[in-house]
């Protein structure tokens, strides 16, 4: 017997890592899926991502656990996709030269260990043994988080699209969603696009930073903050890091921020500064050269590569920094899927979205803190108070 819920037509708007994963999960459940993107799939925030899979930088414990669950799902998620997606495990190392920063590192390790997270303080000698290619310099404290890793968002998006081709689905690229036609109950009946009108049963909004504007067309308020980030690339190199894929190195003592780096599946390095949510807008060649020269101080093997600047990437960033997932009261067949850390979270959020959409259930025990309604009736003062500390008002 066919389940009528699973013969529904679901339009997923946005083919970044979040939308493509949801589209694939829903199509695999038997729904007819139309995936729409105004540009090339994967070319939004997903193409700017440092793509570090982690739960260590996530608080409070509920959000940490959501990220951790997703981190642990990654191997099964990629096996189900049946394609190479650039997954690499081996953990993350970070260290501090400054004694105050070292105390903060140790306090973070204590907290994470009390949550049962596999991270620990390591000696300078252990650090050097973990990654012999690094010139570590002075160490006041160092941390090794052994279960973290990396993926390549574009490879994930491409794998989802390949899987979709074998299912009941269609992909529309270069097609922008402009507006929605709704009935008296607020349900979306028609999606107006630059190409044609679409009449789905359910609409998933996975449009990253554009979600605020599109949701408003269905009378749904989703507040986002501005969160620009810059992660440069280099020309390709043979493998330089042998054990640990993700490295966070301390400031060089010149007032500039710490450096993070990882080597991609194609041999290129990605290099950024600050932490995962630091604001950065300098995407010039001079800044790229500067990031590379600072990274080379720690990884001398980078000395002769070329720094390739990458334009500023804008993180999809709900105002309080937490995911925004679920059907909306104003438009009952509109499902919002907006999140920061979408690379880490794609396996779990796509699974939960498919569950809620295909089975008509509410996974409230997990998603209650992340519902779109939390933005509905905010006053300006509450908006000011809610803003994520590492972001600016849009």
Ligand X SMILES: Cc1cc2nc3c(=O)[nH]c(=O)nc-3n(C[C@H](O)[C@H](O)[C@H](O)COP(=O)(O)OP(=O)(O)OC[C@H]3O[C@@H](n4cnc5c(N)ncnc54)[C@H](O)[C@@H]3O)c2cc1C
Q: List interacting residues with ligand X (CB under 6 A).
A: 13-19, 36-39, 43-46, 48-52, 153, 176-177, 206-208, 210, 214, 229, 231, 276, 313, 315-316, 339-344
Helix (H/G/I), strand (E/B), else coil: 256: coil
The dihedral formed by the CA atoms of 324, 329, 335 and 336, expressed in degrees to the nearest 10: -30
Residues whose CB is less than 8 angstroms from the CB of residue 4 and which lie 6 or more positions away in sequence, other chains included = none
Q: Which is nearer to ligand X, 216 or 303 (CB)?
A: 216
Which of 75, 253 has the CB closer to ligand X? 75
Instruction: Find out whether 348 and 232 touch, Cβ atoms under 8 Å.
Output: no
Q: How far is the CB of 9 from ligand X (least distance, A)?
A: 17
Q: For ligand X, which residue has the nearest CB?
A: 16
Q: What are phi and psi of 180, to 5 degrees?
A: -120, 145
The alpha carbon of 188 is separated from its chain's Cα centroid by a whole number of angstroms, namely: 28
Instruction: Kindly state the smallest distance separating residue 316's Cβ from ligand X, in Å.
Output: 5
Alpha-carbon span 281 to 256, nearest angstrom: 15
* C-alpha pair distances (Å), 240 with each of 160, 219, 266, 303: 30, 50, 12, 12
Is the CB of 97 or the CB of 291 nearer to ligand X?
291
The closest alpha carbon to 211, from 39, 14, 55, belongs to 14
Altogether, the residues listed in the chain come to a count of 394
> Which is closer to ligand X, CB of 131 or CB of 210?
210
Q: What is the nearest approach in angstroms of ligand X to the Cβ of residue 359?
A: 23
Which residue, 195 or 235, has its beta carbon nearer to ligand X?
195
For ligand X, the closer of residues 271 and 387 by Cβ is 271
Q: How far is the CB of 99 from ligand X (least distance, A)?
A: 28
Helix axes 17-28, 342-359, angle to 10 degrees: 30
Beta-bridged to residue 260, according to DSSP, are: 248, 272
Residue with smaller CB distance to ligand X, 266 or 384: 266
CA quadruple 348, 18, 49, 275: dihedral sign? negative
Per the DSSP assignment, residues forming a β-bridge with 248 are 94, 260
Q: How far is the CB of 71 from ligand X (least distance, A)?
A: 10
Q: How far is the CB of 340 from ligand X (least distance, A)?
A: 5
What is the closest distance, in whole angstroms, from the C-beta atom of residue 6 to ligand X in the complex? 24
> In this complex, which beta carbon is closest to ligand X, that of residue 102 or of residue 198?
198
Within 10 angstroms of residue 380's Cβ, the number of other Cβ atoms is 7
CB of 34 to ligand X, least distance (A): 11
Residue 192, CA distances (Å) to 182, 188, 204, 296 in order: 11, 10, 14, 50
**Max Cα–Cα distance, the chain, nearest Å:** 68
């Amino acid at each position: 017997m066919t389940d009528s819920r699973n013969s529904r037509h679901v339009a997923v708007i946005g083919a970044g890592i979040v939308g493509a994963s949801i589209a694939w999960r829903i199509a695999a459940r038997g729904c007819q899926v139309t995936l729409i993107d105004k540009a090339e799939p994967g070319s939004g925030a997903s193409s700017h991502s440092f793509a570090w899979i982690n739960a260590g930088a996530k608080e409070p414990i509920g959000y940490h656990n959501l990220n951790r669950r997703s981190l642990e799902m990654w191997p099964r998620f990629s096996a189900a996709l049946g394609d190479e997606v650039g997954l690499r495990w081996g953990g993350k190392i970070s260290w501090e030269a400054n004694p105050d920063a070292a105390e903060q590192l140790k306090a973070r390790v204590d907290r994470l260990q009390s949550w049962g997270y596999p991270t620990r303080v390591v000696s300078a000698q252990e650090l050097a043994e973990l990654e012999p290619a690094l010139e570590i310099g002075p160490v006041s404290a160092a941390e090794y988080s052994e279960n973290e890793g990396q993926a390549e968002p574009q490879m994930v998006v491409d794998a989802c699209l390949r899987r979709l081709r074998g299912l009941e689905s269609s992909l529309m690229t270069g097609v922008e969603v402009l507006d929605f036609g709704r009935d008296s109950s607020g349900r979306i009946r028609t999606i107006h696009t630059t190409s044609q009108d679409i009449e789905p049963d359910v609409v998933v909004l996975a449009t990253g930073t554009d979600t605020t504007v599109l949701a408003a067309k269905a009378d749904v308020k989703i507040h986002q903050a501005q969160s620009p980030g810059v992660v440069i690339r280099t020309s390709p190199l043979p493998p330089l890091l042998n054990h640990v894929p993700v490295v966070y190195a301390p400031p060089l003592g010149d007032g500039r921020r710490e450096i993070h780096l990882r080597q991609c599946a194609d041999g290129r390095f990605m290099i950024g500064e600050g932490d995962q949510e630091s604001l950065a807008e300098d995407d010039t060649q001079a800044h790229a050269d500067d990031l590379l020269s600072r990274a080379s101080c720690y990884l001398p093997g980078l000395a002769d590569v070329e720094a390739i600047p990458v334009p500023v990437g804008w993180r999809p960033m709900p105002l309080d920094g937490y995911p925004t997932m679920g059907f909306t009261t104003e438009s009952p067949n509109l499902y919002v899927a907006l999140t920061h850390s979408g690379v880490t979270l794609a396996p779990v959020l796509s699974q939960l979205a498919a569950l809620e959409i295909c089975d008509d259930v509410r996974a409230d025990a997990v998603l209650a803190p992340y519902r779109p309604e939390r933005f509905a009736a905010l006053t300006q003062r509450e908006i000011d108070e809610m803003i994520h500390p590492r972001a600016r008002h849009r």
